[in-house]
């Protein structure tokens, strides 16, 4: 099992944490004494390391007759951590690409098929703008409550309102019924007689960028290019004025 220690090192579990996890995976339900015997780690050290591993859900505690025993979490947890690290690295790399894009006129395109990335898109909409900026949104969302709960960052509205961002919105008449009137938001609807507008897709134009989110497949795309953003803004305003 020691051959797998390097695998766990890749998700920031050091050698001692990895040794405890692999020991539990090999021997199953174990007490502190059994972990000590199987790993050759000091008892005090095991007591110090276990709370972190429990907090991070790598280890599960079982209490029977006031006796604590420990079990390893499924190795699927390792896979989840690898995906999380990969996506965080991807986000960091894209920030570097964002800086690089200013050196060229070619569009910078970020494509993702991950639920968490949708939250990053919403964060980017706010973080990319300065105070009192204006952005535009067309949305054919079906379940507004689900989007607010599962995709929208918890501090999205707080950050948006702190920057006093003004926004223009086009959406379906059905979805608009769930929206409260806001001074900083101008909203028009697509009449049902024209289209039900229930594609469950979102587009936003902001800070020389155009973002698309398909809530059906959890695919998101960000295109950064001033010419494309300006063109999409022009189309938005033409549609907005015609409604």
Residues 152 and 224 in one domain: yes
Let me know if residue 7 belongs to a domain.
Answer: yes
Q: What is the pLDDT of residue 73?
A: 77
pLDDT tens digits for range 134-149: 999 999 988 888 998 9
CATH number of the domain where residue 18 is located = 1.10.10.10
pLDDT greater at residue 164 or residue 60: 164
| CA atoms of 229 and 107, how far apart (whole Å) | 10
Residues 15 and 63 in one domain: yes
| CA atoms of 99 and 14, how far apart (whole Å) | 33
CB 228 within 8 A of CB 107: yes
Residues 64 and 115 in one domain: no
Let me know if residue 220 belongs to a domain.
Answer: yes
Domain termination residue (choose one: 73, 95, 122): 73
CB 176 within 8 A of CB 230: no
| CA atoms of 60 and 74, how far apart (whole Å) | 10
CATH number of the domain where residue 143 is located = 3.30.870.10
Mean pLDDT (the chain) is 83
pLDDT tens digits for range 88-113: 778 778 877 777 666 666 788 999 98
pLDDT tens digits for range 156-197: 999 999 999 999 999 887 777 766 666 567 888 888 888 888
Residues 206 and 119 in one domain: yes
| CA atoms of 36 and 91, how far apart (whole Å) | 40
**Per-residue confidence band for 11, with pLDDT thresholds at 50, 70 and 90:** very low
Let me know if residue 122 belongs to a domain.
Answer: yes
Q: Which of 31-45, 58-72, 78-92, 98-112 has the highest mean pLDDT?
A: 31-45
Percent share of the chain, pLDDT over 90: 37
Let me know if residue 200 belongs to a domain.
Answer: yes
Q: What is the pLDDT of residue 29?
A: 82
The pairing of strands 185-190 and 166-172 is parallel
Q: What is the count of structural domains for the chain? A: 2
Residues 66 and 115 in one domain: no
pLDDT greater at residue 210 or residue 190: 210
| CA atoms of 72 and 86, how far apart (whole Å) | 23
Count of all residues that appear for the chain in the document? 243
Q: What is the DSSP letter of 2?
A: G
Any idea which residue has 């599960």 for tokens?
60
Task: State the Rg of the chain over Cα.
Answer: 25
Residues 136 and 212 in one domain: yes
Average pLDDT over residues 67-79: 78
Residues 36 and 155 in one domain: no
Let me know if residue 33 belongs to a domain.
Answer: yes
Q: What is the pLDDT of residue 161?
A: 92
Domain termination residue (choose one: 25, 56, 73): 73
Residues 121 and 199 in one domain: yes
Domain that holds residue 218: 107-242
Let me know if residue 190 belongs to a domain.
Answer: yes
Residues 115 and 227 in one domain: yes
Let me know if residue 80 belongs to a domain.
Answer: no
Let me know if residue 58 belongs to a domain.
Answer: yes
CB 219 within 8 A of CB 203: no
pLDDT at 114 over 60: yes
Q: Which two tokens stand for residue 15?
A: 């050698």
Distances (CA, A) of 146 to 153, 199, 201: 12, 15, 14
pLDDT greater at residue 1 or residue 83: 83
């Amino acid at each position: 099992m020691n051959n797998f220690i390097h695998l766990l090192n890749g998700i920031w579990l050091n050698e001692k944490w990895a040794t405890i996890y692999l020991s539990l995976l090999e021997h199953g339900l174990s007490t502190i004494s059994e972990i000590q015997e199987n790993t050759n780690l000091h008892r005090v050290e095991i007591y110090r390391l276990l709370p972190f591993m429990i907090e991070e859900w790598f280890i599960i505690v079982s209490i029977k007759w006031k006796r604590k025993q420990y079990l390893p979490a499924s190795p699927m947890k390792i896979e989840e951590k690898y995906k999380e690290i990969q996506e965080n690295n991807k986000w960091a790399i894209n920030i570097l690409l964002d800086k690089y894009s200013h050196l060229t006129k070619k569009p910078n395109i970020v494509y993702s098929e991950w639920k968490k990335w949708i939250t990053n898109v919403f964060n980017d909409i706010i973080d990319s703008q300065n105070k009192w900026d204006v952005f535009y949104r067309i949305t054919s969302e079906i379940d507004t409550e689900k989007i607010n709960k599962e995709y929208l960052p918890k501090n999205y509205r707080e950050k948006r309102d702190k920057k006093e961002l003004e926004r223009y919105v086009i959406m379906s008449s059905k979805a608009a019924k769930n929206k409260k009137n806001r001074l900083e938001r101008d909203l028009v609807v697509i009449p049902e007689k024209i289209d039900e507008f229930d594609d469950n897709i979102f587009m936003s134009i902001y800070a020389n960028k155009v973002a698309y989110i398909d809530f059906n497949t959890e695919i998101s795309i960000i295109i950064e290019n001033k010419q494309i953003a300006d063109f999409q803004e022009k189309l938005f305003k033409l549609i907005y004025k015609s409604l």
